[in-house]
Structure 1
């Protein structure tokens, strides 16, 4: 089969979406699984394909910040300011939904998460749909599993269940968007992500805080205790405990992959059951590679993935969040 040129692919994808299709497309964060927000059957297919609970809301993707006036109401001044500074970009704003947003997209809530992706293919697709259209689009993977950062990840996980996959290359950020809600004059980070807290604080002159979603009584994507998880058990360990834990498991005959960011000496050269992988020691590079690395070692059928806990500073907050949730289901024998 001969693939059409990129412009023709976007046009074909837009036609599919207008007729109730489901299309996977690239963003700067991860690949999304998109449906026309105004098509109930297409939105329903997203939940079926992902095996996603019906009360778990979807993020709505817009072509530009002017869409806020159509898809949200009572937009606070801080939201407009953040949109001006960070859109297109990895920032999702949780606002009161307008009448144009169906409850099936919001999980029955009165709020909706909105963002403008910073990827040429995603923006071309949204513009091809037209000014009064938007895409409901969670990550293009099975619910609770590792998010996809390449078209190949989508293909291997969702296969023929998706009508079309637009290939825009590897995702530049590699972690999901930061989700921000509002409590009066205060912006509240409901999920850390591609925009770090210090950048938000600078724009809002400090009027931003990190909080659990309980305070705003709103559900947001990726906030379940266990999420972003590989099938291989993942354990998160501080730097000093990583090598002893690897040796303990290796001595039992288990195959162990050690994923570390620091330049520490790992005392396991003689143990062939242990494989060491070095990640970047700065958060942008680490985040870009995280999901692809977890997928790689998941496919290689290790018995356990041991991951070095990231540094405790704001720049690593999103990475720490993802790793904590990915490791949540593991029962350790320590």
Structure 2
């Protein structure tokens, strides 16, 4: 069984942080909250421990991990060089949900870089994550704390749904406030490229640097568990149970309806929580009200289509 420690999300108890840090120092895996989703962490320079992350998640070995740090100085240890662009972006968006990709330094294990020559780094803003990194004195390599291809976890219960018995410890600080993964920005090439859309919009990044959207196109298929359409095109005739996610109002009888809010930030913070709830309830299909145009909604639309 995985140990679960309930911890204060705003004022984490030092004794619990130290207990989690000791698990990490012993080569263990600890799930912890960030401002986006729960991460599954190991010491970033520990090759054996980081390899365990892939086993626990059943994650492809070529899929790199993000190193979570407490400062630019700590991040710079993992990069071969720290250019002015990286400093400007980190100054603007750290701590926060921007992962910066640079050429890796020799201390980065192959597992963390997915066998490649680059490393992704970010400074989380959640008090529990910050306290854990500072107590450890090391960067923490951490993807989302879920089985690969499953819904990202925004609560400790979501972590345990897929990883109970596979990891050592969960720091349970309740729901993550953001609910949308970090934006991944590659600065290792000639021009900055967004590799994954996330909580920091392209428009905000473009206000500081010229940037190219190189994120993998999301599927337009509407036959999976999650389907997106205008409200009038929802169709439940072929399923026994279904659900609707809408922005502002309840629209149907006989199906589960979750109202997530008209504001993109509020919608993102509730999105994965609602999807987990509907998955646990056995809903066969989830129809999502077509989202508004605009950069604030682009990452949400992208994540829902994956």
**Shared fold by TM > 0.5?**
yes
Superimposed CA distance per residue, residues 178-199 of structure 1 (whole angstroms, 9 cap, x where no aligned partner): 1101376632211111111222
User: Residue 80 of structure 2 aligns with which residue?
Assistant: 73
State which structure, 1 or 2, has the greater radius of gyration over its C-alpha atoms: 1
Name the TM-score, length of structure 1 as normaliser. Answer: 0.83
- For 1:43 and 1:58, locate their aligned partners in 2 and report how far apart those are by CA, in whole Å: 9
User: Residue 261 of structure 1 aligns with which residue?
Assistant: 247
> Are 2:117 and 1:110 equivalent residues in the alignment?
yes
User: Residue 215 of structure 2 aligns with which residue?
Assistant: 212
Instruction: Give the deviation of 1:117 after TM superposition.
Output: 0.5
Distance 1:38 1:225, change over 3 A: farther
Aligned residues: 296
For the Cα contact (< 8 Å) 1:73–1:98, is it kept in 2?
yes
Query: Given the alignment, which residue of 42, 50, 54 partners 1:47?
Result: 54
- For 2:190 and 2:104, locate their aligned partners in 1 and report how far apart those are by CA, in whole Å: 19
For the Cα contact (< 8 Å) 1:23–1:163, is it kept in 2?
yes
Superimposed CA distance per residue, residues 25-82 of structure 1 (whole angstroms, 9 cap, x where no aligned partner): 1110100000012222211111011000111111111111112321002333211100
Q: For the aligned residues, what is the CA RMSD?
A: 2.3
Query: Given the alignment, which residue of 163, 167, 173 partners 1:162?
Result: 167
- For 2:148 and 2:155, locate their aligned partners in 1 and report how far apart those are by CA, in whole Å: 17
Summarize the alignment of residues 132-143 of structure 1 with structure 2, pairs less than 5 Å apart. Answer: 133-143=138-148
Query: Given the alignment, which residue of 199, 206, 213 partners 1:201?
Result: 206
Instruction: Give the deviation of 1:297 after TM superposition.
Output: 0.4
User: Residue 279 of structure 1 aligns with which residue?
Assistant: 260
For the Cα contact (< 8 Å) 2:5–2:169, is it kept in 1?
no
- For 2:41 and 2:52, locate their aligned partners in 1 and report how far apart those are by CA, in whole Å: 10
Distance 1:297 1:201, change over 3 A: same
User: Residue 220 of structure 1 aligns with which residue?
Assistant: none
Summarize the alignment of residues 1-334 of structure 1 with structure 2, pairs less than 5 Å apart. Answer: 6-130=13-137, 133-182=138-187, 186-204=191-209, 207-212=210-215, 233-242=225-234, 245-246=235-236, 249=237, 252=238, 254-263=240-249, 266=251, 268-269=252-253, 272=254, 274-325=255-306
Instruction: Give the deviation of 1:253 after TM superposition.
Output: 5.8
- For 2:56 and 2:48, locate their aligned partners in 1 and report how far apart those are by CA, in whole Å: 12
Distance 1:183 1:104, change over 3 A: closer
- For 2:71 and 2:219, locate their aligned partners in 1 and report how far apart those are by CA, in whole Å: 32
Q: Which runs of 5+ in 2 are unaligned?
A: 8-12
